[in-house]
């Protein structure tokens, strides 16, 4: 039986309005009582994932900023890796004047960006994450956890990603959390690598983990786990990349909770009817 449960947040564990459903929360609490360890795995800032963990009220490992910041349930840092400042400067200079591009970055202090992108902001509307609007010359370049770019011309953004990968391949990791959001972290940073670090911390194999995701930034986590599950609402490119993995229901149906309830034979009478 799996000892570790890893779940992406937006599009996976959270409902489409980016909230934790009561059925999901109740299911996770039952699993915690059975001794299962939980990993909240997200591209989000550490402070947002921490707020969600507090709302849930359960001990959980946190993979944040796609693995650039990874923590134990008691907030002991397991991974802490920033982008080199010269690489941040070079990438911002290369893309900031491209058509349709908005530049974003995370430091531990908050989220910095050079333009408002309402679609991306909607994912974070209910959080207390500090946000800082900066002109191009004021964007910080040191102690950057994650650099990311939004562009609603997805084909153009994918081409920019190929350019960056070719130019900085040994210095960065590039992933897409959404088709229109490209995320850049230091080389070696990924949810899969972070999950392996957590498994070593627990002295278990990553194959004792079950993982759920919906974006390309979840791909290596899903293949590193003993069992990876893809959401019905996932990015079609993830489904194409990992055709052998099982596809479950959608985030709107709280499909992660349904799958876990069945897999772990949870039998709290009436939980499904009462909590969905």
Estimate to the nearest angstrom the gap between the alpha carbon of 149 and the chain centroid: 15
Token pair for 214: 């919906």
Instruction: Say if residues 206 and 198 touch (Cβ distance below 8 Å).
Output: no
Continuous segment of H or E residues that includes residue 97: none
Q: Closest Cα partner for 258 from 40, 37, 26, 39?
A: 26
Instruction: Say if residues 195 and 6 touch (Cβ distance below 8 Å).
Output: yes
Reply yes or no on whether 117 is catalytic.
Answer: no
Sign of CA dihedral 73, 74, 78, 79: positive
Estimate to the nearest angstrom the gap between the alpha carbon of 178 and the chain centroid: 10
d(CA 204, CA 111): 34
Q: Which position among 8, 218, 235, 251 bears the catalytic label?
A: 8
Q: Where are the alpha helices (DSSP H) in the chain?
A: 22-33, 46-56, 85-95, 118-121, 154-168, 191-202, 219-224, 236-241, 255-263, 271-275
Q: Apex CA 135: angle with CA 129 and CA 138, to 5°?
A: 80
Beta bridge partners of 59: none
Continuous segment of H or E residues that includes residue 171: none
Catalytic residues: 8
């Amino acid at each position: 039986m799996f000892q570790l449960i890893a779940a992406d947040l937006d599009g996976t564990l959270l409902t489409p309005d980016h909230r934790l459903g009561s059925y999901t929360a109740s299911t996770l609490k039952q699993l915690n009582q059975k001794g299962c360890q939980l990993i909240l795995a997200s591209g989000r800032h550490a402070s947002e994932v921490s707020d969600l963990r507090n709302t849930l009220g359960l001990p959980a490992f946190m993979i944040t900023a796609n693995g650039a910041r990874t923590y134990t349930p008691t907030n002991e840092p397991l991974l802490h890796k920033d982008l080199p400042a010269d690489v941040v400067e070079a990438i911002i200079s290369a893309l900031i004047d491209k058509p349709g591009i908005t530049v974003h970055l995370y430091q531990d202090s908050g989220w910095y960006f050079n333009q408002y992108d309402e679609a991306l902001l909607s994912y974070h509307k209910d959080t207390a994450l500090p946000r800082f609007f900066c002109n191009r010359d004021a964007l910080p370049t040191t102690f950057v956890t994650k650099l990311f770019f939004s562009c609603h011309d997805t084909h153009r953004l994918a081409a920019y990603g190929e350019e960056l990968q070719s130019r900085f391949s040994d210095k960065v990791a590039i992933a897409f959390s959404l088709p229109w959001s490209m995320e850049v972290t230091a080389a070696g940073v990924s949810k899969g690598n972070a999950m392996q670090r957590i498994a070593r911390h627990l002295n278990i194999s990553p194959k004792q983990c079950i993982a759920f995701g919906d974006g390309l930034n979840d791909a290596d986590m899903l293949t590193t786990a003993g069992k990876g599950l893809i959401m019905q609402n996932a990015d079609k490119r993830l489904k194409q990349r990992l055709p052998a993995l099982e596809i479950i229901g959608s985030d709107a149906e709280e499909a992660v909770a349904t799958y876990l309830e069945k897999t772990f034979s949870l039998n709290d009478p009436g939980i499904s009817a009462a909590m969905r």
